[in-house]
Amino acid sequence: MRLIGLAVVLAVSCVLAPIAGETQTAGKVPRIGILETGSQSARGGSWPAFHQRLRELGYAEGQSVIFETRSR
pLDDT value of residue 56: 92
H or E stretch at 14: helix 2-22
Q: What would the mean pLDDT of 17-32 be, rounded to a whole number?
A: 66
57 versus 39: which is more confidently predicted?
Answer: 57
67 burial via Cβ count (<10 Å: 0-12, 13-18, 19+): middle
For residue 28, the SS3 value is coil
Reported residue count of the chain is: 72
pLDDT score of 55 more than 60: yes
Q: What would the mean pLDDT of 60-65 be, rounded to a whole number?
A: 86
Predicted TM-score of the model (pTM): 0.47
Q: Where are the beta strands (DSSP E) in the chain?
A: 31-36, 66-71
Return d(Cα 10, Cα 29) in angstroms, integer. Answer: 35
For residue 40, the SS3 value is helix
Task: Tell me the domain boundaries of the chain.
Answer: 2-71
Of the segments 17-26, 37-46, 62-71, which one has the largest average pLDDT value? 62-71
pLDDT score of 50 more than 70: yes
